[in-house]
Structure 1
Amino acid sequence: MFPRKSGVLAHITSLPSPHGVGTLGQTAYDFVDFLASARQTYWQVLPLGHTGFGDSPYQCFSAAAGNPYLIDLDLLVKDGLLTADEVAAADFPNKPDEVDFDALAQTRWPLFRCAFSRVDDALRAKITDFTEQNAEWLPDYALFMALREEKYGYRPLWEWPDDAVRTRDPQALRAIREELHEEIAFRIFLQYEFWTQWAALRTYANEHGVQIIGDIPIYVSSDSSDVWTHPTLFKLQDDLSPRMIAGVPPDYYSATGQLWGNPVYDWEAHKKDDYTWWIWRMQTNLALFDLVRIDHFRGFESFWEVEAGEETAVNGAWRKGPGTDFFDTLQETMGDLPIITEDLGIITDEVRELLCETGFPGMRVLIFGLLPEEDNEHLPHNYLPNSIVYTSTHDSQTICEQVMDLCTEPEKQFAYRYLRTSTSEAMGWSAIKSVWASPARTAMTTLQDVLSLGADARMNTPATIGGRNWRWRVRKEALNQDVAAILGDITVTYKRA
C-alpha cells in the first residue's frame, strides 16, 4: 500500500525555458521547489526517450536512451562546452505556450556538435566509464542512430539498403562501426550529458522530498534500436518491418480505434528467454525513476493486434498476453517493484483479476466519471485505497475543457453539484479537492488542472498526429507562490502532505 500522498503530472518539455523547450536545467529545479513548497510528494513525467515520429514520447528510438532535446544548454555553458554567445546566436523566437520542434531540429544539433568538439581527456574518460556501465544498450543505440541519420538519410530500419547491416552480420557491423566511429562517439556523448544532468536533477528532487514517477510505454517504436537488436522478440516481416501492429479497438477516444503502429511482442519468444529484455527494461527505468507507471497494463492480459497495412484498428483481434507469469518472473528476479498501472480502456474481469493478483495500484480519472446517469468507478467516492487517481491525464481533455466545452448541460450541472464548485472558485481547484478528499492513497493532477486551463493547454489527443500534440508549455509566471500556497493548503487539509 502506498502512503497517502499527492503529486503533479507535468512533462519536462512543458516547463518554461528561454531556449524554446523545457529542459533539465534551472527551470526544472525551480519546478521541484514549486512542488516542495506546494507540499507535493510526486512529480510525474512522460517517457524521457529520444523521440521520433510525431515528437511523441511514446514513439522513441530506444527504450533506454534519453531525449537530447532535454539536455540543458546553460549547463553545457557552465561546463565549458559552449559559450553563452553561441547559445544566444542559435536561439529562435521563443513561443512561451508551446514547443517549436521544427526550430529545435534546426538549431540544437549544430550546438551539440560544437559542444562535442570540446570534449577533453578528462571528460572523455568519464564518457568511457559511462559507456562501459551501459554496454548492454548504448553502443547499439549510438550505432543505430548513426546509421539511420547519417549513413541512410533518415530512412526507417526496414528501408536500409545494406541487408548485412540490417540483419546484423558481425563482419558488416565491425566495418560500419569503424566507418562511423566519430558519429557513434557523438551519440554516446549526448547520452552521457542527458544521464548526468538527469541524475543531478533527480538527486535534487529527492533531497527536497519529491519522488519522480516515470512512464514505461508498453510497446517500442518499430523504427528503433530495440527492434534492430532483438528482432526475434517482435512479430516482424523478413525486412524487419512490422507484420502485426498494436492498437486498441473503437473506444472513448476514437470510433475507428487507435492504430499505434508499434510492432507487437512475440510473447512466446520472451517467455523462452525468461523475459530477459523486459527485466533489463525495468532495471533501466528504475535507475531513472523512483516509481514507474506501466502504460496500457491491459496488454499484458490480452492485446489488440492488427495486420500491418490496415488503415484503422477496426479489423484487429485480441491475443493473449503473458499474464501473471510475466509479473511473477519480474518479482522473482527483482523483488517487490514500485509500479503503478494504467488500466484504462476496455477492462475485462480477466484484466481486473490480473491487476488484483499483482497488487499494483490501478488508475481512475475524474473526468471519466462526470455522467449523471452513472455511478461509476471514476467518481471519487468509489475510488479504492490501492489506486492512483487523477483529475485528468496527458491524453485527455483538461477538467475545464471537459466541463465547460464538452459536457452536455445535464452533465455540466452534475459536475458543478458533484464538485461543489461555483463561479467564485476555479474549476481546477474544485476538481483537485474532490480527488484529494477521496480514499485513494495516491492522488494526482495535471499542471493544466492546477492552473484551470482549457482546450489550448491539452497535451495530446490520442489517434491524432501533429497539430499541438506534445507542444504545450507553461508560462514561468504561472508557477508562483500563490498557486503553490493554495495547492499546499488543499494537500494539508486532505492529509496528503
Structure 2
Amino acid sequence: MNNCTVVNILRQRSSGILLPIFSLPGPHGIGDLGHAALRFIDFLKAAGQSCWQILPLGPTSPLFGNSPYMSPSAFAGSPLLINPDLLVEQGLVRRREILPPDCSEYSVDYHLVARHKAGILALAWQRFQLRSDWPDILETFAATHPWCLDYALFVALKQRHQGKPWYGWPEEIRHRRPTALAAARRAMREQVDAVVFEQYLFFGQWQHLRDHARRQGIRLIGDLPIYVALDSADAWANQDIFQLDRETGLPTDVAGVPPDYFSATGQRWGNPLYRWTTGDDLIRDRLWDWWEQRLRLNFMLTDTLRIDHFRGFAAYWAVPAEEETALNGRWLPGPGQPFFEEMDRRLGGMSIIAEDLGLITPDVATLRDTLGYPGMKVLLFAFDGDPRNSYLPYNTEKNSVVYTGTHDNDTAVGWFLNPDVTRESKRRAKRFANRSDDHAGSFHQELIHLALASPANLAILPMQDVLGFGNDCRLNTPGVLAGNWQWRCAERFVNKDVAAWLSDLTTLFGRVPPESDCQTGATQDP
C-alpha cells in the first residue's frame, strides 16, 4: 500500500464531491469498483477537488429498499460493487461470460444487477478453487478480517432457513451454541467459503481504488451509520452488547427520534440499541472492542468518517419495542467524550465529521466542540428568514463542513422547483447569491458559489448539484421505502468542461490545496 498522506481536508480550505459508488457510470447496471471509479478520481483531481464522499459500502437488502443504511453487516462490502472487468483481468472469468444485461445508464435495477453479478461471482469462485493455494489465501484474509467468518456463516444460514431473520432460527443456532455452530460450518463449508471469497474480492478491489486515490491526492470520506440492522450478522454474533431479550433475541427497546417539527409522533427506526450504560464491565469492554474493530476497518477503507446521527453518542432516544411510534420514548445517556477519547487513543487519531442535523441539544454541541469535530451546514436549510439560522453562510463556523444538500435532500434545482417551498424562501436564497431573478436553471451554480465562498474549511457538493439536475435525480426521500438509492450518473456528464468549470471556481475561492505529499514525497500529519 502507498504510505503517502495528503492534505488535511478538515483543517484547511478544500472541497469535494458527494457521489455514492452505486451512482458511478459503467456497463454492469450499477456503479462499482472498476475503471469508472478510477476515472472519477481522475475527474476529481482535474476539477481541483480534494476529496470524494461516499455512502456506506455494505451489502443491501430489497426488504429495506436497498438502503445502504440498513445492511446485514457493519463490516462487509457489497458484492454488487465488485467489478466484473477486473475479474477478467485476474483470469477468474472470461470476457464473454460477463456480457452485461440491457440496463439503464441512469438508474439501478437491483434485482437485475444481483442476478447478473451472482452468476459472474459463481463462475469466479469455481475458477478460484482451481488454484492450489486458494484455502491459504482465504484463511489469511479471514485472519485479517475476523468478522468475516461470522458474516459468511450468517449468510449461509439465511439461505438454509429461506431468508428468515436470525431470531427465527432454531434455538441452538439462534443462541450460538458452539456444537451447533461447528456443525453448521461443517455442513455449509462450501457456501461459507464462497462468501469469504466475495469479501476477499471486494477488499482487494477497494484497495486498488484507494491506492489510486492516494496517488492522485484525493481523500476518501466514508459514512458510518451509528446503528446496525436487527437482522444482521453483527446483532446475531454479538447479542450481549445490544438491548435484546436473552431468550427471543428481539429488542427490548429500539432506536428512533422524538416528535419534532417534521413528525408529531417522531420516527421509530427499529434498530437495536447498544448497552452503553450496562453495569457489567465485561459487556462494556466487548462493546467498546466491537466499536474499535468497526472504526479501525472504516479508517482502513477511508481517510475521514462522517458519523451518522452523532447526537446518539451524547444521548439517544430509546423507544419500547412494543410501541408503534416513537412518541413514548425516553432519553438515555450515550457513551460521550470518554468513548471517543479512548477510540482516538486506540486508533492513534481519528478524522471525523459529526452529522449534527436535526434536534441538537446543548450537550450534543458541547460534545462535538470539545472533541473538535466539525459539524454539518446544509444550505438548503438556511433560507427560513431567521438571521440566526446556523446554516446561513455568514453563520457558518470555520470548523464545519458546508453542503449544498445531502443524500437525504432534494437536489438544489429540485428544491427551487418544489411548489411546497415558499416563494419567500426561494427569493431569499437568490438574494444571498446576489440574484433577483426566479430562474431555477442557474440555482445550483448560485448555491455552489455560496458553499465555496463560505468560511467552512470543507465544502461538499453532491454531483447532482454540480450538474444542475432536478428532482428525478434525488438519491433518497426519508420515510419513503420505494424508489430510492437508484440514481446513476452517465459517463458523458463526467467530462472535461465540468472539471474545468469547477476547478476555476475552486481556485477562485481558495479551496485548491497545496501539492499533496503523494506527489512531493514529503510527509505530513493527517
TM bin (shorter chain): over 0.9
Change (3 A) 1:42 1:251: farther
What secondary structure, in the 3-state scheme, does the structure 1 residue paired with 2:350 have?
Answer: coil
What secondary structure, in the 3-state scheme, does the structure 1 residue paired with 2:277 have?
Answer: helix
What secondary structure, in the 3-state scheme, does the structure 2 residue paired with 1:472 have?
Answer: coil
Match of 1:320 among 333, 336, 342: 333
Question: Amino acid of the residue matched to residue 27 of structure 1?
Answer: A
Shift of 1:335: 2.9
- 1:129 counterpart = 2:140: yes
Between 1:49-58 and 1:277-286, the stretch displaced more is 49-58
Instruction: Output the CA distance in 2 between the equivalents of 1:96 and 1:470.
Output: 14
What's 1:81 paired with? 92
- 1:387 counterpart = 2:395: no
Match of 1:477 among 484, 492, 507: 492
Instruction: Output the CA distance in 2 between the equivalents of 1:174 and 1:334.
Output: 33
What's 1:277 paired with? 290
- 1:148 counterpart = 2:158: yes
Question: Amino acid of the residue matched to residue 84 of structure 1?
Answer: R
Question: Amino acid of the residue matched to residue 82 of structure 2?
Answer: I
- 1:236 counterpart = 2:249: no
Question: Amino acid of the residue matched to residue 426 of structure 1?
Answer: S
Question: Amino acid of the residue matched to residue 329 of structure 1?
Answer: E
Instruction: Output the CA distance in 1 between the equivalents of 2:105 and 2:261.
Output: 31
Match of 1:401 among 401, 414, 421: 414
Question: Amino acid of the residue matched to residue 58 of structure 2?
Answer: G
Shift of 1:305: 1.8
For each residue in 1:118-169, what CA deviation from the matched residue of structure 2 results, as whole angstroms up to 9, or x when unmatched?
112245433332122112x1111111111012x1111111111x21111111
Shift of 1:110: 2.2
Shift of 1:204: 0.2
- 1:340 counterpart = 2:353: yes
Match of 1:49 among 54, 58, 71: 58
Shift of 1:372: 2.4
Match of 1:199 among 207, 211, 223: 207
What pairs up with 1:23-422 in 2 under 5 angstroms?
23-52=32-61, 53-88=64-99, 91-119=100-128, 120-135=131-146, 137-149=147-159, 151-160=160-169, 162-237=170-245, 238-251=247-260, 253-269=262-278, 271-273=284-286, 275-405=288-418, 406-421=420-435
Instruction: Output the CA distance in 2 between the equivalents of 1:487 and 1:424.
Output: 19
Instruction: Output the CA distance in 1 between the equivalents of 2:149 and 2:296.
Output: 18
What pairs up with 1:411-490 in 2 under 5 angstroms?
411-421=425-435, 423=439, 426-466=442-482, 468-490=483-505
Shift of 1:379: 0.9
- Checking the alignment, whether the CA contact within 8 Å between 2:277 and 2:333 is kept in structure 1 is no
- Checking the alignment, whether the CA contact within 8 Å between 1:44 and 1:213 is kept in structure 2 is yes
- Checking the alignment, whether the CA contact within 8 Å between 1:404 and 1:412 is kept in structure 2 is no
Change (3 A) 1:363 1:239: same
Change (3 A) 1:128 1:438: same
Change (3 A) 1:22 1:434: same
What secondary structure, in the 3-state scheme, does the structure 1 residue paired with 2:167 have?
Answer: helix
Instruction: Output the CA distance in 2 between the equivalents of 1:94 and 1:124.
Output: 36
Provide the TM-score with structure 2 as the length reference: 0.90
Shift of 1:249: 2.1
What secondary structure, in the 3-state scheme, does the structure 1 residue paired with 2:60 have?
Answer: coil
Change (3 A) 1:424 1:355: closer
What secondary structure, in the 3-state scheme, does the structure 2 residue paired with 1:153 have?
Answer: coil
Question: Amino acid of the residue matched to residue 150 of structure 2?
Answer: D
Between 1:247-256 and 1:111-120, the stretch displaced more is 247-256
Instruction: Output the CA distance in 2 between the equivalents of 1:163 and 1:66.
Output: 29
What secondary structure, in the 3-state scheme, does the structure 2 residue paired with 1:215 have?
Answer: strand
Instruction: Output the CA distance in 2 between the equivalents of 1:176 and 1:425.
Output: 59
Instruction: Output the CA distance in 1 between the equivalents of 2:285 and 2:81.
Output: 37
Shift of 1:272: 4.6
Question: Amino acid of the residue matched to residue 133 of structure 1?
Answer: T
Shift of 1:253: 4.9
- Checking the alignment, whether the CA contact within 8 Å between 1:403 and 1:415 is kept in structure 2 is no
What secondary structure, in the 3-state scheme, does the structure 2 residue paired with 1:184 have?
Answer: helix
Between 1:345-354 and 1:255-264, the stretch displaced more is 255-264
What's 1:13 paired with? 22
Between 1:215-224 and 1:104-113, the stretch displaced more is 104-113
What secondary structure, in the 3-state scheme, does the structure 1 residue paired with 2:448 have?
Answer: helix
Shift of 1:268: 2.5
Instruction: Output the CA distance in 2 between the equivalents of 1:242 and 1:163.
Output: 17
What secondary structure, in the 3-state scheme, does the structure 1 residue paired with 2:127 have?
Answer: coil
Change (3 A) 1:455 1:375: same
Shift of 1:259: 2.1
Stretches of structure 1 that go unaligned for 5 or more consecutive residues are: none
Identity of aligned residues (%): 42
Instruction: Output the CA distance in 1 between the equivalents of 2:487 and 2:206.
Output: 21
- Checking the alignment, whether the CA contact within 8 Å between 2:398 and 2:457 is kept in structure 1 is yes
Shift of 1:333: 2.0
Question: Amino acid of the residue matched to residue 99 of structure 1?
Answer: V
Shift of 1:399: 1.4
- Checking the alignment, whether the CA contact within 8 Å between 1:148 and 1:156 is kept in structure 2 is yes
Question: Amino acid of the residue matched to residue 178 of structure 2?
Answer: P
Question: Amino acid of the residue matched to residue 279 of structure 1?
Answer: E
- Checking the alignment, whether the CA contact within 8 Å between 2:259 and 2:327 is kept in structure 1 is yes
- Checking the alignment, whether the CA contact within 8 Å between 1:157 and 1:241 is kept in structure 2 is no
Question: RMSD of aligned C-alpha atoms?
Answer: 1.6
| Count of aligned positions | 491
Shift of 1:273: 4.0
What secondary structure, in the 3-state scheme, does the structure 2 residue paired with 1:337 have?
Answer: coil
- Checking the alignment, whether the CA contact within 8 Å between 2:401 and 2:460 is kept in structure 1 is yes
Instruction: Output the CA distance in 1 between the equivalents of 2:95 and 2:115.
Output: 18
Shift of 1:330: 1.2
